[in-house]
Chain A
Amino acid sequence: MQSRFYASLLLISALILLAFVSYAGLRELNPEWKTYQKEYKRLFFNNAVTPDMKKKAAEYTVGIRQIYIKDLNRVDRCDNCHVGVENPLMAKEKVPYRQHSGTYLKDHPVTKFGCTICHLGQGNATNKKEAHAEGHDTYWDYPILPLKHIQSSCTQCHNMDFLSKHGADVIIEGEKLFNEKGCKGCHKLSGNGGVLGKALDGVGSQPIHYFPMRYVEGERTQPSWLKQHFEDPRKVVPESVMKVKLTPEEADKLTTYILSIRTYDPPKIYRRINEEPIVAKDGHALYNMYCVACHEDGKLSAFDENLKGTIPAIENPAFLMNADDRFIEMVVKEGRKGTPMTSWQLSSAGLTDEEIKKIVSYVALQRGHESSKPVSVNLKTGDKDAGKEIFNVRCALCHGEKGQGGLGLNLANQIIKKADDQYLFKTIRDGRATTPMPPFGSTGLGLTDQQIVNVISYIKAF
């Protein structure tokens, strides 16, 4: 009885083992690519017209293939499934049998470039899921690049000038958006740009794990993250203070551009980059590049929920009337501590003095012709304590008890300490038209000149 029991147990386990082994064996003998290659052979034969081609098709052998490129240190096995990429007879078939589109392969022979240098993905893999590697579960850093972003790969070897002449419109427009939406106001790239956001050098070759994918919809890949982040920054990164929101079309183009900012350079023999002429940008372009993200057109002063502060209207004529170029230049150079305003000088955000001057003159274009009459302010006569009393009643509500800012601007910083007394005096006296700052002078809320001087002495002592 017992031996029978053991015999049955042995038989059952042997059968289970056999089932597993045959399953594994069948899978090994019939990989995904074999099906494609067999179908390719059939299509090739059917599409061939000349006897020579028919013969070629008949001679086609099904078997594993690979493109090994020593100089690029790449092994691409994509052609096991994408069998027809080099076969013009496959021009009308569907993917993966179809011939490669365009004339790209003419200038980029497969034997020299392979596939993943442009398309990314896991070249070594021999099945679709792992080769395309879309998502964390395939353990590959660089998933296949969606075709709409494919131009981001061109910059590895070509410069923008070349690309603009050869129809790479997506990346060109992406770069334009990058320059005009003020991305560098918060993000450093190649040594200059603001510091509120992450530096962007090499962001295009960051592995998939660099991006927090938790809130990303659809495929959790770098392009998805970037695109959704441009459409709605806080959906993807809840704590983001990024202001810019793009339309889906714009987001696609900008994503292409951002993906092109890579660290990995192909060997020199592959690169076709000649030094791009550095075109000096004018004040307007610089303003768009560095300032526009926060200040927009500079006409409205508004409280920003995400930055938790008011962004001053720097194009406000009332401000420009009182602030001279020297003062604005100082603010741009030194920034405003305690606010998101970065110090833009060469040693921090990386702008040259000349560029800052250009930005200042661009901003100053809005200044009216009549400048306000000079007033003489003697701070020595100021009474700090009297100033404090007035400040606490009249100013603290917006500017904060300690001048830390709130609805109003932050006053407790170096710039205010260094600011011209006349400028502060006029600002308090005349207020700032189009902003919540009212005129406090005798014609407005009724402070005397002496009281204003007292307040200034107090502010300067923060």
Chain B
Amino acid sequence: MSSTGEKTEIGRRDFLGVSAIVAGAIAMLSVVAGALRLTKSNVYYEQSQKFKIGRPENFPAGTKVKLDEKKVFIFSENSGLYAISSICTHLGCIVSQTDSGFLCPCHGSRYDGIGNVVGGPAPRALPWLEISLHEDGNLVVDASKEVKSGTMFLI
């Protein structure tokens, strides 16, 4: 009788101690998790890569525009709209448009009309950028999102 009583006594004390340690450990772990969470930042100090280029009406088929500030060409054809980056894939100069495509003034990389390399040191084609429609009716180009060459945005 007395021995069982003693047993429960010890059991209860054990339970108390164990749960205290477990609770403490959980709390400490959460604190550590919280601290680790701080090492990953939610947002960065950088300009958004997305920008609006205007309403689709402003880009009737046949339009070719170069947006100097945004470093991108916008083309509109019957089959849709597409945006090609104007940053040379060699060392980052801004390419200019020629009759047959694009030409980089720095080291003479040449690209065809849809951005594929046809000569010079450029290692790869000019990237096509994602175009989408904002809910306010403007077209948005996201320079951080590359799409497959030939992807048209249908208005």
Contact surface of A with B, Cβ cutoff 8 Å: 3-4, 7-8, 10-11, 13-15, 17-18, 21-22, 24-25, 28, 44, 52-53, 56, 64-70, 75, 77, 86-89, 109, 111
Q: B24 near A: Cβ within 8 Å?
A: yes
Q: B48 near A: Cβ within 8 Å?
A: yes
Residue of B27, B37, B42 touching A64 (CB-CB under 8 A): B42
- The answer to whether A88 and B27 touch across the interface, beta carbons within 8 angstroms, is no
Q: Name A's interface SS.
A: helix
- The answer to whether B135 and A89 touch across the interface, beta carbons within 8 angstroms, is yes
- The answer to whether B43 and A64 touch across the interface, beta carbons within 8 angstroms, is yes
- The answer to whether B24 and A21 touch across the interface, beta carbons within 8 angstroms, is no
Q: Could you list 16 A-B pairs, sorted by A, with CB under 8 Å? A: A7-B17, A17-B27, A21-B27, A25-B30, A25-B34, A56-B135, A64-B42, A65-B43, A66-B43, A68-B45, A68-B47, A77-B43, A86-B134, A86-B136, A111-B50, A111-B52
Complex CA–CA separation, A29 to B67 (angstroms): 40
Taking CB atoms, residues of chain B closer than 8 Å to A53 are: 135
Complex CA–CA separation, A412 to B118 (angstroms): 93
Taking CB atoms, residues of chain A closer than 8 Å to B13 are: 3-4, 7
Taking CB atoms, residues of chain A closer than 8 Å to B34 are: 21, 24-25, 28
* Most A Cβ at <10 Å: residue of B23, B47, B50, B135: B135
Complex CA–CA separation, A90 to B94 (angstroms): 39
Q: B19 near A: Cβ within 8 Å?
A: yes
Complex CA–CA separation, A22 to B133 (angstroms): 41
- Extra A-B contacts (12), CB below 8 Å, given A86-B134, A86-B136: A3-B13, A14-B20, A14-B24, A18-B27, A21-B27, A21-B34, A44-B135, A53-B135, A56-B135, A67-B48, A69-B47, A111-B51
Q: B6 near A: Cβ within 8 Å?
A: no
Residue of B17, B27, B47, B135 touching A86 (CB-CB under 8 A): B135
- The answer to whether A10 and B135 touch across the interface, beta carbons within 8 angstroms, is no
Taking CB atoms, residues of chain A closer than 8 Å to B26 are: 18
Q: B46 near A: Cβ within 8 Å?
A: yes
- The answer to whether B30 and A22 touch across the interface, beta carbons within 8 angstroms, is yes
Q: B61 near A: Cβ within 8 Å?
A: no
- The answer to whether B135 and A87 touch across the interface, beta carbons within 8 angstroms, is yes
Contact surface of B with A, Cβ cutoff 8 Å: 13, 16-17, 19-21, 23-24, 26-28, 30-31, 34, 37, 42-43, 45-48, 50-52, 133-137
Complex CA–CA separation, A311 to B33 (angstroms): 73
- The answer to whether B50 and A11 touch across the interface, beta carbons within 8 angstroms, is no
Taking CB atoms, residues of chain B closer than 8 Å to A13 are: 24
Least Cβ–Cβ distance between B25 and chain A, in angstroms: 8
Complex CA–CA separation, A66 to B133 (angstroms): 20
Complex CA–CA separation, A185 to B143 (angstroms): 56
Taking CB atoms, residues of chain A closer than 8 Å to B19 are: 11
- The answer to whether A109 and B52 touch across the interface, beta carbons within 8 angstroms, is yes
Least Cβ–Cβ distance between B135 and chain A, in angstroms: 5
Least Cβ–Cβ distance between B39 and chain A, in angstroms: 14
Complex CA–CA separation, A69 to B46 (angstroms): 8
4 smallest CB-CB distances across A and B, nearest first, come from A11-B20, A14-B24, A14-B23, A10-B20
